[in-house]
């Protein structure tokens, strides 16, 4: 059930300024800025018209003396669970000065307790070394409509705003800005969301205008002379089971049986290597210490399913939904094995199987990520 937290439909509801963007200001003054983005398909760089593009263009135009670098790590059909494991490699290690996070839509059907743990883990990772600003960017999906139309805040956004308040990070409700444009007659619905979810050029520009307004407000204010210790310290977590310490196990630590090959993977931009087989019955196993395990695959209609067990327990078989838009391969898809195990050593065993459904049209098993939650 959505929480009926009433909002006033004005820019104060759309733009939430909580802490000055000190790292972005410092970067601009230095002459080099690295912009980071992470989220789903609405933020993904590959369509080349999504909302980060006008934001990037505005920054480059406004500060012509500054060299702008862009690290857009958004991937369609992914959520904050996968992002937690990617944050170091794709954003932190690349030196981003500011990161925009867009997962209100892609996380909205994930159970609240889990998405709060993954989201808080991601935010804490990004803030942990004090070297970057973080801004939440909330997009729109149809399931948000009725709540927003009545002046409320959808649960997925309200949960993110709870984290934003706790960590004093800014947020931009891009979806509300665009809906207001529709209400005022500036934007037709089909211009905003031609397929009901993904903006093209005009809708993306609307989203970007709200982010640009946020940055203009932030950067036009006088810069704070010094950052206080209280402002720069990391708050205590809201959820003690957050995923800040989540990490990836090296594929080299996995034991295999059957014709597995470790390949450099040129087919998905965000995957460096996969452990690859198409042999039914091929098996693998590994040990880990922690309380949770997630696996990431290059997934599609030609992918296998997996049979697996933990700690010599009962065998389970995956049955991953393959929606109408599911590609034959190329979807970097996370699969959660467990996230509530007793903390300690565990053993995982897995076997490649055919899904034995009409939608499972292959047996390719391309394991790209073994994510451990300590």
Give tens-digit pLDDT for 301-311: 999 999 999 99
Q: Is the pLDDT higher at 9 or at 132?
A: 132
Give tens-digit pLDDT for 59-112: 999 999 999 999 999 999 999 999 999 999 999 999 999 999 999 999 999 999
Give tens-digit pLDDT for 64-77: 999 999 999 999 99
Residue extents of the structural domains in the chain: 11-232, 247-373
- Alpha-carbon distance of 224 to 349, in angstroms, equals 54
- Alpha-carbon distance of 61 to 48, in angstroms, equals 18
Instruction: Supply the DSSP symbol for 196.
Output: S
DSSP code per residue over 332-347: EEEEEEES-PPSEEEE
Q: Are 192 and 202 in contact (CB under 8 A)?
A: yes
Lowest mean pLDDT, pick from 30-44, 231-245, 260-274:
231-245
Mean per-residue pLDDT, 305-320: 98
Residue 1, pLDDT > 70, answer no
Mean per-residue pLDDT, 331-348: 98
CATH of domain 247-373: 2.60.120.260
Give tens-digit pLDDT for 230-263: 556 899 999 999 999 999 999 999 999 999 999 9
Question: What global pTM score does this model have?
Answer: 0.95
**Domain 11-232 -> CATH class:** alpha beta
Phi, psi of 122 (to 5 degrees): -65, -45
Residue 3, pLDDT > 70, answer no
Give tens-digit pLDDT for 8-23: 446 889 999 999 999 9
Return the pLDDT at 137. 98
């Amino acid at each position: 059930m959505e929480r009926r937290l009433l909002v006033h439909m004005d820019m104060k509801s759309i733009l939430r300024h909580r802490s000055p963007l000190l790292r972005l200001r410092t970067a601009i003054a230095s002459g080099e800025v690295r912009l980071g983005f992470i989220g789903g398909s609405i933020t993904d760089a590959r369509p080349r018209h999504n909302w980060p593009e006008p934001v990037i263009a505005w920054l480059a135009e406004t500060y012509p003396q500054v060299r702008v670098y862009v690290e857009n790590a958004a991937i369609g059909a992914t959520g904050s669970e996968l992002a937690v494991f990617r944050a170091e490699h794709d954003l932190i290690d690349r030196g981003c000065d500011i990161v925009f996070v867009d997962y209100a839509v892609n996380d909205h059907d994930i159970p609240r307790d889990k998405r709060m743990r993954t989201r808080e883990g991601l935010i804490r990772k990004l803030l942990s070394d004090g070297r970057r600003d973080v801004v939440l960017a909330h997009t729109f999906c149809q399931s948000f409509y009725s709540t927003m139309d009545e002046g409320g805040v959808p649960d997925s956004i309200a949960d993110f705003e709870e984290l934003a308040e706790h960590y004093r990070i800014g947020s931009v409700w891009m979806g509300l800005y665009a809906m207001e444009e529709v209400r005022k007659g500036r934007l037709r619905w089909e211009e905003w969301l031609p397929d009901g979810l993904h903006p093209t050029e005009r809708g993306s520009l609307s989203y970007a205008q709200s982010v640009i307004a946020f940055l203009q407000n932030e950067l036009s204010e006088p810069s704070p002379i010094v950052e206080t210790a209280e402002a720069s310290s990391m708050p205590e977590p809201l959820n003690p089971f957050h995923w800040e310490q989540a990490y990836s196990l090296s594929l080299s630590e996995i034991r295999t049986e059957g014709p597995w090959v470790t390949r450099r993977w040129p087919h998905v931009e965000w995957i460096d290597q996969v452990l690859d087989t198409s042999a039914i019955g091929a098996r693998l196993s590994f040990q880990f210490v922690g309380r949770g395990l997630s696996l990431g695959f290059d997934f599609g209609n030609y992918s296998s399913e997996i049979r697996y067990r933990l700690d010599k327990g009962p065998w389970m078989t995956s049955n991953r939904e393959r929606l109408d838009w599911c590609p034959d391969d190329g979807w970097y898809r996370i699969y959660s094995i467990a996230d509530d195990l007793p903390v300690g050593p565990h053993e995982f065993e897995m076997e490649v199987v055919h899904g034995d459904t009409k939608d499972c049209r292959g047996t390719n098993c391309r394991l790209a990520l073994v994510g451990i939650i300590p």
